[in-house]
Amino acid sequence: MSLAVPQGFRFAGVHAGIKRNTSRQDVSLVVSDRPASAAGVYTKNLVFAAPVEFDRARTPGEGFRAVVINSGNANACTGERGLRDAEEMARLGAAACEAQRDQALVLSTGIIGEFLPLEKIAGGIRECSKQLGTSEDSLVAAARGMMTTDTTHKLTGHSVQIGDRYFNILGMAKGAAMIAPNMGTMLGLVLTDAPIAAADLQTLLNAVVDDTFNSISVDGHMSTNDTVLLLANGAAGGAKLRGAELEQFETGLRAVCGDLARMIPTDGEGATHLISIEVRGCSSKAAARQIAKTIADSPLVKTAIAGADPNWGRIVSAAGYAGVPFNPAKVGLLLNGFKLYENGAPVSFDGSEVSTSIKNNRDTIIVLSLGEGAAKAHFWTADLTAEYVRLNADYHT
The CATH number linked to 84 is: 3.60.70.12
Q: Look at 397 and 305; give whichever has higher pLDDT.
A: 305
Helices 244-266/198-209 angle, 10° precision: 50
Q: Is residue 343 part of a domain?
A: yes
What is the rounded CA–CA span in Å between residue 36 and residue 196? 9
Whether the CA torsion 305, 306, 311, 317 is positive or negative: it is negative
Domain boundary among 250, 266, 282: 266
Q: Is residue 35 part of a domain?
A: yes
* Domain identity same for 252 and 343: no
Contact status, residue 306 vs residue 384, Cβ threshold 8 Å: yes
Q: Is residue 105 part of a domain?
A: yes
Q: Is residue 162 part of a domain?
A: yes
Active site residue 43: no
pLDDT(1) > 70: no
Q: How confident is residue 177, by pLDDT bands cut at 50, 70 and 90?
A: low
* Domain identity same for 159 and 181: yes
Q: What pLDDT score does 389 carry?
A: 79
Which 3 state secondary structure label does DSSP give 252? helix
* Domain identity same for 48 and 181: yes
* Domain identity same for 311 and 244: no
> 329-351: b or e for each residue (b if 16 or more CB lie within 10 Å)?
eebbbbbbebbbbeeeeeeeeee
* Domain identity same for 173 and 101: yes
Percent of the chain with pLDDT over 90: 80
pLDDT(18) > 50: yes
Domain boundary among 266, 296, 327: 266
* Domain identity same for 51 and 150: yes
Q: CATH number of the domain that 320 lies in?
A: 3.10.20.340
Q: How confident is residue 268, by pLDDT bands cut at 50, 70 and 90?
A: confident
Closest to 26 (Cα-Cα) out of 95, 87, 75: 75
Domain boundary among 229, 244, 266: 266
**Residue 396 φ/ψ region, left for φ over 0, alpha for ψ in the -120 to 50 degree band, beta for the rest:** alpha
* Domain identity same for 117 and 195: yes
Q: Is residue 4 part of a domain?
A: no
pTM: 0.88
Q: How far apart are the first and last CA of the chain?
A: 35
Q: What pLDDT score does 197 carry?
A: 98
Alpha carbon of residue 19 to chain centroid: 22
* Domain identity same for 99 and 245: yes
pLDDT(224) > 80: no
Q: Is residue 22 part of a domain?
A: yes
* Domain identity same for 258 and 353: no
What is the rounded CA–CA span in Å between residue 302 and residue 326? 23
Q: Look at 327 and 267; give whichever has higher pLDDT.
A: 327
Mean of the per-residue pLDDT values of the chain: 92
Q: Is residue 1 part of a domain?
A: no
Contact status, residue 117 vs residue 73, Cβ threshold 8 Å: yes
Closest to 273 (Cα-Cα) out of 366, 352, 144: 366
* Domain identity same for 25 and 89: yes
Q: Is residue 2 part of a domain?
A: no
The residue from 43, 78, 149, 185 that is catalytic is 185
Q: Are strands 375-382 and 216-217 parallel, antiparallel or unpaired?
A: parallel
What is the rounded CA–CA span in Å between residue 116 and residue 127? 18
Looking at mean pLDDT, say which of 2-11, 267-276, 349-358, 385-394 comes out highest: 349-358
* Domain identity same for 73 and 96: yes
What is the rounded CA–CA span in Å between residue 105 and residue 64? 8
Kindly state the average pLDDT of the residues 150-156: 90
* Domain identity same for 137 and 250: yes
Q: How confident is residue 152, by pLDDT bands cut at 50, 70 and 90?
A: confident
Whether the CA torsion 201, 206, 212, 218 is positive or negative: it is positive
Domain containing 381 equals: 274-393
Number of domains in the chain: 2
pLDDT(156) > 60: yes
